[in-house]
A and B are shown apart, each in its own frame.
Chain A
Amino acid sequence: MKLINKLTLFITLSKLVIVLLFVGLLPKLVHEAAARFTDNSLREQQKKVVREVAQRGIDFYLQGEDSYGSYTLLKEEYISLEPGTRPSALPADTIETAMRIVEGDTLNYRVLTHTITYQGKPYILEIGKQESVINRFSRPLQKIALSVLIALVIITILADLIYTRFLLKPLGVIIRSKLVNTQFPFTEKMSLVKTSTSDFQYLDQSLTTLMEKIHRDFEKEREFTSNASHELMTPITILQNRMENLLSEGKLEDEAFLRVEGMMKTLNRLKQIVRSLLLISRIENDQYTKKDIVKIRELLNDVIEELHHRLEGKGLSLSLALSSSMQLSQVNRDLLFQLFYNIINNAIRYNKDNGRITISDSYILGGKYLITISDTGIGIPVNEIASIFERFRKSAHSTEESHGLGLSIVKSIADYHGITLQVRSTPGEGSQFDIVFPWQLVKE
């Protein structure tokens, strides 16, 4: 999961927990607040009564009667003052929720009971407030509180998301500019990504340093290849030219001439080996561009034309049966030519006289494209199949001139393009090479 998504999820969930907690607690809180408020107002009223009694005497309320009682029109509030009977059992001073019967209606009240002593006689004062009145506003209050909370939570979530997005933006830039969109070798000069977050600066700095190091090492490697090739190729050239001069000056006896020619042949083998190793090393060092668009039929026809003499020499028949006019893009034509050249050349070399080579194609799952090259040759022994792409591999059937690099070159070229190779063989009957092109290269 992406970091930004994780953060979003966390922010949303944590806010959700807060909302739920609040929703759970809200009724209790509102109820509590209302109760406290009611209690306070009851006390106020009690103080007022006590003050009145102190100033104007108990008769201000009793008016000569034994007791006094009054309630509002809707029985929302009432007040009563009664003489206390048994002083020891008197309730001292309480506020509680209790039932009272007013005019035949049994109602729930919040009742304050207070004992007033007037001229040595106790009187019990009761002030009540109807519970339904107290809780009348609790529901709308809860609703308002909840909507305000939800609005606030949404605003904070949005603010959090925008900010985290902004905060994480440099990370995306670093990944895109430093890792995804750069291609080895990193020839472009890296510029640092602008950010005030020191962690990202550190990451960016480390990546840049690492890539510069890789680049330097790669350059060294490339330089080595270049130097090594120069150092190897120059003496080979000198030898070759010297022998050529010997041959062309016409001063040699026949015997010596043949010997020099034999030397040239040996030198030629050395030259081919060095060239092949250099080719592999250049492919592995990414020194070839992959920008060509290749029509597969044309390419194969060119390869076959190039090898025509060998086919003819062995009396082989070759059938090229392509089902489509496929094109490959983002490839290197010369390298693909070499790949097919080497495989078909092997199919010729290890074929029987008057044998057959078949080249066919098909589309396989996932938009991949498959070319199959099969021959009727001597085949590859089971225990050798796994190692045929190894460098300097030589089978018992290899010809004397073979240096065992042909299929290594094929493998390097295939790896370089993301092409998969599969080999099947029945010794004595023939071999089959499957060359699978990934869909990225396939262009209809």
Chain B
Amino acid sequence: MRVLIVEDERSMALEMEAFLKNASYLCDLAFTARQGLKQMEESAYDFILLDLGLPDKDGLEVLQQAKKCCPEASYIILTARGDLEDRIKGLDLGADDYLPKPFSLLELLSRIQAITRRKSGWKDSVMELGEFLFDMRHRRIMFGKEEVPLSKKEFDLLHYLVLHKNRPLTRLQLSEHIWGSFSDDDYDSNYIDVHIKNIRKKLSAFASAEWLQTIRGIGYKIKAVD
């Protein structure tokens, strides 16, 4: 998978690049709109991560132009402005997703994966976890023919761990994913433990779920074969 990161903040672009490289993506960087558009013409990309606040051109205009030269690519808009208007306009112009800054790299990666999965016609959207089958398309986890009755939040939590399997996720990262959209004035990641406890209870009614591991002092991890 080839990704073009168009972002004027160099250190941010570099962090994104490092993270995505680690997740086996090939990354190119562009720090201006002009540079980005030039690179789009030169090579084909699967993903274009586009910052809307570029110094040399209005982000939405860049998106419009980019869509013309690379209609095949998937676009994720990154913006710090967080205006609802930008988001609607961006999605109207054909962006596949929208991430308001500050965002977590895990969140970025899971959005990329979700788009990939959707565009590939849900290829590889079912995953084996011990004796369970995790079905991302239909948002359920099956034991044989029975569905494990998880709540929406519990499924989201498990889904996030599955997307980042074999990587320990901290309680903070998990709760940010689940409740991050609220300007809540406190933040108690201990509630993640409550959720995990419930998930474990529900799973163990069917079979053991040793693949859902606690990393002492840090958080949780799902162990699965790649």
Contacts and interface: CB of A to CB of B under 8 A. Distances in A.
Q: Do A and B originate from a single complex?
A: yes
B204 interface: no
B185 A234 contact: no
Contacts of B182: 306, 338, 341
Given A229-B82, A238-B9, A241-B15, A268 B172 contact: yes
Interface in B80-129: 80-84, 101-106
Nearest to B10: A238
Contacts of A276: 183, 185
A287 B83 contact: yes
Given A238-B11, A254-B217, A272-B184, A265 B83 contact: no
Contacts of B48: none
A258 interface: yes
A276 B188 CA distance: 17
B176 interface: yes
B186 A399 contact: yes
Contact of A237 (B102, B183, B185, B218): B102
**Chain B contact residues (Cβ within 8 angstroms of A): what range?**
35 or more
Given A271-B102, A345-B184, A406-B184, A257 B194 contact: no
Contacts, number: 124
B157 to A, nearest CB: 10
Majority secondary structure, A binding face: helix
Nearest to A349: B186
A23 to B, nearest CB: 71
Given A237-B101, A242-B15, A268 B187 contact: yes
A234 B188 contact: no
B167 interface: yes
A244 B104 contact: yes
B82 A278 contact: yes
B12 interface: yes
The 4 closest A-B pairs by CB, nearest first: A406-B185, A237-B102, A241-B15, A233-B80
Interface of A: 226, 229-230, 233-234, 236-238, 240-242, 244-245, 247-249, 254, 257-258, 261, 264-265, 268-269, 271-272, 275-276, 278-279, 287-288, 306, 308-310, 312-313, 338, 341-342, 345, 349, 399, 401-406, 409
14 contacts: A230-B101, A234-B9, A234-B12, A245-B18, A245-B22, A248-B105, A248-B106, A258-B217, A258-B218, A264-B172, A268-B172, A271-B102, A288-B84, A310-B191
